[in-house]
Every structure is written in C-alpha cells, then in structure tokens.
Amino acid sequence: MSLQGRTALLAGATGLVGQSCLARLLEHPAYARVVVLARRPTGTSHDKLQEIRADFDALEGLTPLPPVDDVFIALGTTIKAAGSRPAFYKVDHDYVVSVAKLGKRAGARRLSLVSSVGADSTAMNFYLRVKGEAERDISDLGYECVDILRPSMLLGDRHEHRTGEALAAPILRAVSGAMMGPLRVYRPIEADDVAAAMVASLVSDGTAGVRVRTFDDIRRFAS
Ligand SMILES: NC(=O)c1ccc[n+]([C@@H]2O[C@H](COP(=O)([O-])OP(=O)(O)OC[C@H]3O[C@@H](n4cnc5c(N)ncnc54)[C@H](OP(=O)(O)O)[C@@H]3O)[C@@H](O)[C@H]2O)c1
C-alpha cells in the first residue's frame, strides 16, 4: 500500500467526528486529495479538498467520483432528529451503505466506519441493530480492509443541543475511570480521538479483513 498520494472519500464531514476527521485527512502527508460528499458546505477551504454536494437519496445517479483509495464514514443521525425509525434507518443504514458502495465503485479498497459500542445486527435494541446491519452489509461489499470503530458516548463541542447526551456526559465522565474490565468499552471518548484513530488505523495497519476497534484500540491509535 502506497503511503503517499492517496485519495480519501469522506462522508459526515460536517459532524462532530467528521469535522475532526476532515482536518486530520487534510493535514496527513499520505493524502493528496480529500473528496467530501455532503449535503451542505463544510466551510473549510484547502488545496487538497474537493467537495461534492450530494442528495443522499440519489447517490446512484451521482456523476462518477474521481478514483478513491480509502473511504471514511462518520455519517449518522438520531431517531429524534430523523423523526421516525424508518427515517433513522435510511440515514444510519441506507446512506452509509450507499456511500460504501459508491467508494467501492470508485476503486477504494479500504474503508473506515464509525459505528457504535454494542452494534449487533441481531440486537433487540433498534439503534444497535441498525448499526450492526450497516456494519454487516459494509463488511460484505468486498473491501480488502474494513475498520469498524465502536465508540460509546462521544465527547466534544457540539453545536446542536442534545439534552440526553448533555445530561449523561458529565455523569459518564465522572464514572469513566471506574469502568473496568468488560465495562471499559462503555467509557465516553473524545470525538477527536475517534477521528484520529480512523485515520491512523487505516493508514498504519495494513492487515486485511474486518477490524473492530473499541475504546482501548481507539485510544491507542489516537495517541
Ligand atoms: N453521539 C454519540 O455519542 C455517538 C456514540 C456512538 C456512536 N455514534 C455514531 O458516530 C457517528 C458520528 O457521530 P457524530 O456525533 O459525529 O455525528 P453528527 O455530529 O450528528 O454528524 C453526522 C453527520 O451525518 C450527516 N447527516 C446526518 N443526517 C444526514 C442526512 N439526512 N443526509 C445527509 N447527511 C446527513 C450530517 O450532515 P449535516 O451536518 O448536513 O446534518 C453530519 O455530517 C454516527 O454514526 C453516530 O451514530 C455517536
């Protein structure tokens, strides 16, 4: 794998993890070009950056992308913001898998996806099942390497107010150190660490297959 002149495709670049991922990709020497697929401008200007405005319901009809090496997906919504379970499924499963398919058609062989701790396609919990189905369907696309990051609660400065997360974050921060053994995966984590790990893992670990990264792996790759 060449560590120079790579092209990244990024979806979710306007979000908490995605903004940080974009900044890291733009500054990383391995990447000569970063193609962002988004429904609104990122507000970032950079020689390496190419933004493609996209209707995620119509990705199939998008003009062909430039050749891509690596795909980074930090796209997602909440059931509350989406308005219904089917609308949430459309974003967190269908859009995510469509971006992965688009990247594959553009030649990408490696992909990094932000999923969630507990993701499981057989889970009773709807949110975790959707995340698990997205992981499963992306893993079946034939990428040489798929990184699945499974963070617990994301910490960081979010413009949008989320009451539940705002209430839970200080509590989880306070008890985080006491979450030991199998509970470590539930420790809250800085969104910036997740973004750093997405880039570092895909660039530095050349092993093939599906690699699941939870709290400790994410912190290790981020450091
Ligand atoms: N929040 C947490 O504590 C937590 C915990 C574990 C896992 N996760 C997962 O981690 C991932 C990243 O989370 P985050 O908090 O960084 O996300 P975020 O800040 O909510 O950003 C989500 C991104 O997805 C895009 N998006 C959402 N709905 C869209 C739609 N209908 N069409 C096109 N683009 C859409 C947003 O674009 P716009 O800016 O245009 O809306 C944004 O770029 C998500 O998959 C999330 O489920 C989150």
Residue 114, token pair as written in the block: 């932000």
Going by pLDDT thresholds of 50, 70 and 90, the confidence category of residue 60 is confident
Indicate whether 9 pLDDT > 90: yes
Res 174: pLDDT: 84
The answer, yes or no, to whether any atom of ligand 1 lies below 6 A from the CB of 91, is: yes
Q: What's the number of CA atoms in the CB half-sphere (13 Å) around residue 141?
A: 26
- 182-199 residue pLDDT tens: 999 999 999 999 999 999
pTM, to two decimals: 0.96
Q: Ligand 1 centre from 81 Cα, in Å?
A: 10
110-114, strands of its sheet edge to edge = 49-53, 31-38, 6-11, 70-73, 110-114, 145-149, 209-213
- 133-149 residue pLDDT tens: 999 999 999 999 999 99
Residue 62, token pair as written in the block: 């998008």
DSSP letter assigned to residue 163? H
Q: Ligand 1 centre from 159 Cα, in Å?
A: 12
For residue 52, which amino acid is it?
I
Residue located nearest, by CA, to atom 45 of ligand 1: 76
What the chain holds in terms of domains, given with CATH numbers, is 6-222 (3.40.50.720)
The answer, yes or no, to whether any atom of ligand 1 lies below 6 A from the CB of 56, is: yes
Hey, what's the torsion of the CAs at 36, 111, 92, 45, to 10 degrees? -20
Closest CA to 206 of 110, 114, 115, 135: 110
Whether residue 21 contacts residue 199, with contact meaning beta carbons closer than 8 Å, is answered with: yes
Least confident of 85-94, 107-116, 200-209: 200-209
Res 74: pLDDT: 98
Q: Ligand 1 centre from 131 Cα, in Å?
A: 12
Residue located nearest, by CA, to atom 8 of ligand 1: 116
Q: Ligand 1 centre from 2 Cα, in Å?
A: 30
